[in-house]
Amino acid sequence: MIEFKNITKRFGDKLVLDDVSHVLQTGKTNLIIGTSGSGKTVLQKCLVGLFEPDQGEIIYDGISFTNMNEDDRKMLRQQIGMLFQGSALFDSMTVEDNVKFPLDMFTKESLSSKLKRVNEVLERVNLIGSNKKFPSEISGGMKKRVGIARAIVLNPKFLFCDEPNSGLDPQTSMLIDKLIFDITHEYKMTTIINTHDMNSVMEIGDNILYLKDGKKEWTGNSEDIIFSDNKNLNNFIFASEFLQGAKQLRMMEDKSKSNKP
């Protein structure tokens, strides 16, 4: 579980995060949603320590991350996996070497057991057969899957995903969402996903935090969103007429179900 309290972050005069508090639950897909520039990425970077918040506290499983020294942070980071928006694969390494890199750096296992583990995670993300390819030779969806494989190869307790669907077609987006959702429940990880993909919100949103202009605006799950009367949230999620229609239909279905004896 990750808890953050009163997180505030400024860049110069611009207030990007304003007193945001929330609890990210273990074994669930925790979504941080909001429009572009609402502070999602900054919040995630504060949570993993790439940015230092100006104010507030971050607590990982009851231990304060904010007050940790650098050595303890390094130890904790070995339990964190992160999938970046652009995948952030190492260009000079093959798919296999990218996934093996954390094992090379932090374990003293034999080469054969490292390769066994690499093949396990590549199989889990449906990427067997691409071991010797370079990042420049694979598609955007495959890069995301390599990114996920690299992030989970050390069995992390916490998985951060920054806009995992950006730049992907709807079908591949759904595959990535399903993969992250399944892995989260399979490995009992605390997964934190930044997204503004509405399909992800409705399909895998166990615990959702909606940010607006750097402030916490709403929390709930994907079911709660349908029935929420928060105007800003509705304008954001159901922006198109098609989605508004889908919402109305879903509400009518629920109403008719509850009216049945």
Partner 1 sequence: MNFFAHFGRYILMLKGMFSKPENPKLYWKEFMHQCSEIGIGSLGIVCIISIFMGAVSAVQTAYQIVNPFISKSIISQIVRDTVILEFAPTLICIVLAGVIGSKIASELGNMRVSEQIDALEIMGINTKTYLVLPKIAAAITTIPMLVVIAMVLGIYGGRLTVSMSGILSSESYDSGLKESFVSYNVFFALIKAYTFAFIISSIPAYYGYNVKGGSLEIGRNSTTSVVVSCIVILLADYILAALLL
Cβ proximity to partner 1: between 156 and 205 the closer is 156
Q: How far apart are CA 74 and CA 76, in angstroms?
A: 5
The smaller minimum CB distance to partner 1, of residues 122 and 159, is found at 159
- The nearest distance, CB 114 to partner 1, in angstroms, is 12
Strand (E) or helix (H) holding 42:
helix 40-48
In one-letter notation, the amino acid at residue 19 is D
Amino acid 98 reads N
Nearer to partner 1, 154 or 211 (CB): 154
Minimum Å gap between C-beta 244 and partner 1 is 36
> By the criterion CB under 8 A, which residues form the site for partner 1?
45, 48-50, 73-78, 80-82, 84-86, 88-91, 101-102, 104-106, 160
**Nearest distance, CB of residue 41 and partner 1, angstroms:** 11
Minimum CB distance to partner 1 smaller for 106 or for 227: 106
Least spacing, CB of residue 50 vs partner 1, in Å: 6
Using an 8 Å Cβ cutoff, are 180 and 3 in contact?
no
